[in-house]
Amino acid sequence: MKKIKCFILICILFASIANVNSQESKEYKLTDKAYGVAWDGVNFWFIDTNRRALVKINEIGEQEIFNLGLANLRGISFDSREGKILVVAPKQILKIDPNSGGITDKVAVPVQNIAGVASVGNFYYILDLDNAKVQIFDQVSGILVGGFFTDRNRPRDICFGRDSLWISDSSDNTIYRYDAKSGKITGSIKTNMKSIRGVLLSGSKLWVVDRESHEIKNIPFLETERFIASGEEEYSLEVTLKFKIDTVSLSKAQIAVVHPPSNEQQRIRSVKFTDSSFTPTFIQRNRVHIKKLSIEDSAGEQVLKYKFTSRNQLIKYFVTDDYLDKDVTYPFDIANYYEKGKENSQLFARDYLELIYNARQQASTFQDFKSRMIESGIPVLPYRMIRFEKGKAKSVQDSLSVFLLGFGWLPIGDLTPNGAQDKRYFEKKETDLILYQSLNYKQSVSPVYFRKDANSEWENLPAEITYKIK
CB 242 within 8 A of CB 302: yes
Residue 47, beta-bridge partner list: 35, 54
Among 170, 191, 221, identify where a domain stops.
221
Single residue among 190, 221, 252 that ends a domain in this structure: 221
Region of poorest pLDDT, from 2-16, 53-67, 137-151, 332-346: 2-16
Same domain for 214 and 257, yes or no, is no
What pTM was estimated for this model as a whole? 0.60
Q: Is the pLDDT of residue 326 over 50?
A: yes
Domain limits for position 198: 2-221
pLDDT digits (tens, 9 = 90+) for 291-308: 999 888 888 999 999 999
CA-closest candidate to residue 386, choices 275, 329, 310: 310
* C-beta of residue 200 within 8 angstroms of C-beta of residue 291: no
Domain CATH number, residue 151: 2.120.10.30
Q: CA 230, CA 147: separation in Å to the nearest integer?
A: 21
User: For the residues 411-432, what does the mean pLDDT come to?
Assistant: 76
- How many distinct structural domains can be found in the chain? 2
Q: What pLDDT band is residue 142 in, cutting at 50, 70 and 90?
A: very high
Q: What confidence score (pLDDT) does residue 177 get?
A: 86
Same domain, 214 and 235: no
Shared domain for 402 and 269, answered yes or no, is yes
Check whether residue 161 and residue 230 sit in a common domain.
no
d(CA 449, CA 433): 21
182 shares its domain with 295: no
In this prediction, residue 220 carries a pLDDT of 65
Confidence of residue 421 (pLDDT cuts 50, 70, 90): low
Domain boundary among 221, 240, 256: 221
**Quick one: 354 and 248 in the same domain?**
yes
Residues 136 and 229 in one domain: no
Same-domain check for residues 236 and 148: no
> Is there a single domain that holds both residue 167 and residue 297?
no
Q: Are residues 274 and 131 in the same domain?
A: no
First to last CA, the chain: 58
Is the predicted pLDDT of residue 11 greater than 50, yes or no?
A: no
pLDDT of residue 202: 79
> Do both 182 and 248 map to the same domain?
no
Q: Are 115 and 259 contained in the same domain?
A: no
